[in-house]
Structure 1
Amino acid sequence: MCVSRLEAPTEESPFLLDRIVIESHADIQAIQAICDYVYIDVKYQKSFSGTIPTRNTDARKYLSFARSFNQTANTFQRTGNLIKTVMDDIRFGNQFSVSAVKQAVSECVDKVLENPDTMLLLTQIKDQDQYTAQHSMNVCILSILLGRELNFSMEDLNKVGFCGLMHDVGKMKVPLEILNKPGSLEDYEMDIMRKHTLYGRNVLMSARNVYPGAVDVAYDHHEHLAGTGYPRGLNKTTLSIFTKLVAVVDTYDAITSDRVYQRGKPHLMALGILVKGMNLQYEANYVTQFINCIGFYPQGNLVELSSGEIGLIVEQNKVDRLKPKILLIQDGSKNPIEEKILDLSLNLADVSGKRYGVKQVIRPQDCGIDLTKYYQDGKFTKEYAVVG
């Protein structure tokens, strides 16, 4: 059946669209949770058997997180600016404010719990020129998200967020000509780069009121479960829970980010690398829960559809993770179009009459898309036509 209207007011509905195709018992349970009765499109019900609904763009809708996006983004930006200041203080040998860092992490925890989708999306808006600070910010948010998935207490969410934010502070003691070198490092340069874990430990140990577990994470986040990492070759029996967790999200964000010496890899390729390293490099349960947490198609990733169109994932589908909601931004010829929201769970047809599906996850740079500009232009708080 096709639900054409819900009893519940739109603002209380978890559904991005007012038209919902019921395809499973889970769909029914989700609707029952918010209303007692619905309106059914009988014509659609009769015609749906053996056919695919065609495109229509009459309805309009805001993205599910639009109302709280700016407030959440402000928290993200404030914390990002703080970590830049902290890193500058460390580079120049000044004391940094531990209390300010803890307060910023606490705000991030609150926003992750209130609006995890927006925080996840913001981690995908990357700036190569600000890699170290932005990477630390992203690892903080992703660590909190994974901790939330693991049912951590509020206290532990704040601790693991602090660990994630501060895990790479030792890089501020690495000479810039090595840290920002565009090519491969020489052996002696690699030795210096790897000392960032020792430098990070020393920086955090010299600061007052730092959570002691953050010292371990800064020192050990490049260790492997099998004892093949650095700097000490520790194995899983001596690594802390937070170290193992941060190692997973640190690797993910590093793989998916552009750096001066390499291009970032697509999301699914990064997940494949984590899976391959389970039990040898990474805690298997944390990798599995991380995938559950961010999904196969997380917010902020670009996809090419079976139609050749390009879209930005704006909402995951918790019932069917392979059918997210997408903001269409380029046509099949890769030309810009007026943005429209497409819900893959409705099994809609493209202009050729074929059912929509995701062909591949792609990098923004590969199709000339700047996610930072989308953010700055207010694209995440606009009202859009709905394909349906």
Structure 2
Amino acid sequence: MCVCELEAPKGENPFMLDRIVIESHADIQAIQAVCDYVYIDVKFQKDHTGAIPTRSTEARKQLSFARSFEQTAVTFQRVGNLIKTVLDDIRFGNQFNTEAVKQAVAECVDQVLEHPETMLLLTQLKDQDQYTAQHCMNVCILAILLGRELKYSVEDLNKIGFCGLMHDVGKMKVPLEILNKPGKLDKFELDIMRNHTVYGRNVLMSARGAFPGAVDVAHNHHEQLNGGGYPRGLDKSALSDFTKMVAVVDTYDAMTSDRVYQHGQPHLIALGTLVKGMSQRYEAHYVTHFINCIGFYPQGNAVELSSGEIGIVVEQNKADRLKPKILIVKDSQRSDIEPRLLDLAKPVADPQGNRYAVKQVVRAKDYRLDLNEYYRDGLFVKDYAIAGA
């Protein structure tokens, strides 16, 4: 069965996502450790044979990524929970399980290769209170997606995924009062924060079986091609390909995430920053491939339509990246409506009789959109009528 919400967790919720598919007795024990009651999503419970009950889809269409959403989300959650455990081990000076991390990355690689759009959407389910763990997870996924775009082998995808997942482990050696400070850091605090690159290098150098390239990435992912980065002011010639790749996706996810001291930026603004920094801060080759990889309107981004309605991008159109499928959730007056699916690739007219188009990408929170809530409610796995079909 599928748990869609925990009732009154005892202390901090250890699960990165609240939506949990129970697959073993160990899953039940993990949930029992943090709460006494849960809410079950009865629409998606499996029957005694393990099959998910079918529903009539006559005259309706399902989002293609929705068919595998639950299983992909299970992998995403499992790896997210693992990275939280790894970061806690590092903070408390314990040795972390390198082989378990490699296995988790391998699962991510499998899911990215099989269901890239779903994994991209899951990177948008962000929680400010778990920023570091989720950021590491997202950088892992985005780095694998970029490697896939570059036609990397599975072996290399596993390596770049490991680099992405472990790139910020040094932050666990930064005092919490600095790491989570809501205001601007003073010079002394900034120096300590920047030392997370050195701390990360040291942690990974002492980790048995860690991919050696991850040491370089943890140490150098804030260096810049023109030598203006830190901690050593290295230039392009001294930086590995994996370091340059992680620098791009790290910047993108950091810019688009809410943190204690800033609101996340809309997707296109983050891409604009990467483009402006091409050849000076970021390798142009990787920036252009990253943009091609995730598109101008990636899954999970909120958009305002030409009609004034608000929706969420839920599926890419591979033939025309400017015409994705959008789940409209608010009308032009910003009031909640029964969601309906709009395929911009089809000549569908808006309420004013004009053809629909994306007006702009917006911040979800500015329009009271909570992707985590939509996820818990199963919004991304429902069947929807296609507008105008």
TM range (shorter): 0.7 to 0.9
Q: What CA distance in whole angstroms lies between the structure 1 residues aligned with 2:237 and 2:141?
A: 26
- CA shift digits 1:59-93 (9 cap, x unpaired): 42211111110000000000000000000000000
Other-structure match for 1:39: none
Q: How many pairs are equivalent?
A: 331
Letter of the 1:312 partner, please give it: I
SS at match of 2:236: coil
Matches within 5 A, 1:1-388: 59-388=59-388
Q: Which deviates further from its counterpart, 268-277 or 343-352?
A: 343-352
Q: What CA distance in whole angstroms lies between the structure 2 residues aligned with 1:183 and 1:347?
A: 48
- CA shift digits 1:301-320 (9 cap, x unpaired): 01000101011101111221
Letter of the 2:103 partner, please give it: Q
- CA shift digits 1:220-274 (9 cap, x unpaired): 0000000100000001101001000000000000000000000000000000000
Q: What CA distance in whole angstroms lies between the structure 2 residues aligned with 1:65 and 1:191?
A: 44
Q: What CA distance in whole angstroms lies between the structure 2 residues aligned with 1:100 and 1:61?
A: 39
Does the 8 Å contact 1:163/1:213 carry over to 2?
Answer: yes
- CA shift digits 1:162-203 (9 cap, x unpaired): 000000000000000000000100011000000000000000
Q: What CA distance in whole angstroms lies between the structure 2 residues aligned with 1:276 and 1:59?
A: 46
Which protein has greater RCO, CA pairs closer than 8 Å, 6+ apart? 1
Q: What CA distance in whole angstroms lies between the structure 2 residues aligned with 1:358 and 1:112?
A: 27
SS at match of 2:304: strand
Q: What CA distance in whole angstroms lies between the structure 2 residues aligned with 1:122 and 1:262?
A: 22
Q: Which deviates further from its counterpart, 95-104 or 376-385?
A: 376-385
Letter of the 1:181 partner, please give it: K
Q: Which deviates further from its counterpart, 306-315 or 60-69?
A: 60-69
Q: What CA distance in whole angstroms lies between the structure 2 residues aligned with 1:320 and 1:328?
A: 20
SS at match of 1:323: coil
Task: Give percent identity, aligned residues only.
Answer: 74
Q: What CA distance in whole angstroms lies between the structure 1 residues aligned with 2:328 and 2:385?
A: 10
Does the 8 Å contact 1:339/1:385 carry over to 2?
Answer: no
Q: What CA distance in whole angstroms lies between the structure 1 residues aligned with 2:375 and 2:314?
A: 13
Return the TM-score normalized by structure 1: 0.85
- CA shift digits 1:318-358 (9 cap, x unpaired): 22111111011011101111111100111211011011110
Letter of the 2:81 partner, please give it: N
Unpaired segments ≥5 residues, structure 2: 1-57
Unpaired segments ≥5 residues, structure 1: 1-57
Letter of the 2:186 partner, please give it: E
Return the TM-score normalized by structure 2: 0.84
Letter of the 2:185 partner, please give it: L
Q: Which deviates further from its counterpart, 286-295 or 338-347?
A: 338-347
Other-structure match for 1:18: none
Letter of the 1:221 partner, please give it: H
Other-structure match for 2:36: none
Q: What CA distance in whole angstroms lies between the structure 1 residues aligned with 2:208 and 2:351?
A: 62
Q: What CA distance in whole angstroms lies between the structure 1 residues aligned with 2:142 and 2:354?
A: 36
Runs of 4 or more consecutive aligned structure 1 residues displaced over 4 Å after TM superposition: none
Q: Based on CA coordinates, which of the two structures has the bigger radius of gyration?
A: 1
Q: What CA distance in whole angstroms lies between the structure 2 residues aligned with 1:222 and 1:290?
A: 18
Q: What CA distance in whole angstroms lies between the structure 1 residues aligned with 2:325 and 2:111?
A: 22
Does the 8 Å contact 1:312/1:329 carry over to 2?
Answer: yes
Q: How far apart are residue 290 of structure 1 and its match?
A: 0.1
Q: What CA distance in whole angstroms lies between the structure 2 residues aligned with 1:159 and 1:222?
A: 19
